[in-house]
Amino acid sequence: MAGFKHLVIVKFKEGTADDMLKGMEKLVSEIDAVKSFEWGQDIESEEMLRQGFTHAFLMTFNSKEDYTAFVGHPSHVEFSATFSTAIDKVVLLDFPCVVAKGSA
């Protein structure tokens, strides 16, 4: 296993994305359990395929225990309440990572 992943795919309410992006970057910088954080905004997919979702966030942790520590961290709990009010739709996937092809 190559760590534990937390994938969040969202459709933000109008005018909330910038504040949420800044908040997420601040959040992950405060919590050492987060090994890496990546995000992006969809610019290529057809609407039919994306189903209204606009942004994806991927966090990597060394272990499920580190992920659990992140979820229970007071900063995460506080930010989650704010984040929840800024989204129209969300998909969350939390999974152990299986590497089929590593980076070069």
73-95 pLDDT, tens digit each: 999 999 999 999 999 999 999 99
The pLDDT tens digits of the residues spanning 27-59 come to 999 999 999 999 999 988 787 778 889 999 999
Domains and CATH numbers, the chain: 4-96 (3.30.70.100)
Backbone angles phi, psi at 88, to 5 degrees: -90, -40
Span 57-76, average pLDDT? 96
Q: How confident is the model at residue 99 (pLDDT cuts 50, 70, 90)?
A: confident
What is the per-residue pLDDT for 103?
73
